[in-house]
Amino acid sequence: MKKPDSSFDLVFPENSGCDNTQINFYCGPCNLDEIYFAGDDSPYPSRLFVTDETIAKLDCMKDFVSKFKESRRGNDTLLVLGAGEKYKTIESVLKIVSTALDANYNRNCLFVAIGGGVICDMTGFAASMFKRGVDAEFVPTTLLADVDASIGGKTGCDFSSYKNMIGAFYPAKKIHMWPSFVNTLPENEFISGLAEAVKTAFLFSKEMCDLLKNNREKVLSRDEKILFKVISECAKAKASIVHEDFKEKGRRAFLNLGHTFGHALESVAGLGKVTHGEGVAWGMGRAIALSEKLGLCTKNFADDCKQILESYGYCTQKQHPAISDRDIDKIISAMHKDKKNSSSRGTKVILQSDWQNTIIREVSDQDIDSVLR
């Protein structure tokens, strides 16, 4: 079995009921056979690999996929789902479960997600349910999944037109990351994932903010070394916050910077119309504008953040082009419905008073309105 080029363990808190997640990084092009089919040392008698139509067609996946005949390779099965947010449904999750059931898999099997956040989230959720829980491993293939979605055990799917409305905390046992997958992404998906990296930098690392500020060209041209650094630093930052607060009782909620506004935008614009990262980046701009409005941060800080967001092409306007004036009330009411804003006193938002200085605040509709119109 191929040895990773670097590796670390995400350690879950005591009493969380979860084992550690081993996070492995590999240089060069992805070779899944070296991980899953070299030698006879797999502890799993059968494995269900779940991917989507886009990933299955990638050059680096062709060899792996072609070795499955009618979806089977020995005791292993390959399931190829439709690609994209519109397939992030309970029906797709149940399709994963029924595929394992039809193959007569028992509780010792392994579910392996090969894909972006959608595939990782749904496969992890299906793994949490199948026979009351089987092991999961992830091979993230997008920048967004590398730096955020694959790490920390949040699994699930969309429901009733709200994102990630149902799901479970159910971390993967192992995550195998090939940053080279990022080269296969269309520009909009790359930029979407990059928003989560920018978010991590705003929250946890002034050094990474400077790196993003000073290496714009290299980042945008997907320079291998810079991306390896961005991905591994973000993964470590995410792992340390999950270690501290797995079930999001406190500081993990910081990771939702930009998400309350962003999810509302995604929902009001129509799921799939605005990429997740585009929504989050716009949401970060709104959250920082609100921080400034409430006197929590300086204009200098707000301008610095705005400059980074704009230098990567993100919209920092009050009104995102995907919505109109008439949609602002809908945005506010979608923000109330966001599952993370359970307070009756106001809408909970994540605000920044400085680099690495984050605040959770309940704010009024008027406050929100003031940065939207």
Q: List the one residue from 154, 163, 176, 263 that touches ligand GLY (CB under 6 A).
A: 154
CB of 75 to ligand GLY, least distance (A): 33
Stretch that binds ligand GLY, among 146-154, 219-227, 261-269, 342-350 (CB under 6 A): 146-154
User: CB of residue 249 vs ligand GLY: minimum separation in angstroms?
Assistant: 12
148 near ligand GLY, rule: CB under 6 A = yes
| Under rule CB under 6 A, residue 278 binds ligand GLY | no
* Contact region with ligand GLY (CB under 6 A), list: 131-139, 148-156, 176-184, 309-317: 148-156
Taking CB positions, which residue lies at the least distance from ligand GLY?
Answer: 255
Rounded-to-integer distance, Cα 318 and Cα 275, Å: 18
Q: How far is the CB of 17 from ligand GLY (least distance, A)?
A: 18
Would you say 47 or 252 has its CB closer to ligand GLY?
252
* Amino acid letter, 15: N
| Contacts of ligand GLY in 193-212 (CB under 6 A) | none
Least distance in angstroms from the C-beta of 325 to ligand GLY: 30
Binder among 163, 176, 199, 252 for ligand GLY (CB under 6 A): 252
263 binds ligand GLY (CB under 6 A): no
Taking CB under 6 A as the rule, does residue 255 contact ligand GLY? yes
Q: Are 314 and 276 in contact (CB under 8 A)?
A: no
Choice from 115, 116, 140, 152 touching ligand GLY (CB under 6 A): 152
Does residue 171 interact with ligand GLY by CB under 6 A?
A: no
The minimum distance between CB 337 and ligand GLY, in angstroms, equals 18
- Minimum CB–partner distance for residue 46 and ligand GLY (Å): 29
- For ligand GLY, how many residues bind (rule: CB under 6 A)? 6
Q: How far is the CB of 175 from ligand GLY (least distance, A)?
A: 13
Q: What are the tokens at 145?
A: 């999944």
Whose tokens are 């009493």? That residue is: 15
Site residues, ligand GLY (CB under 6 A): 148, 152, 154, 248, 252, 255
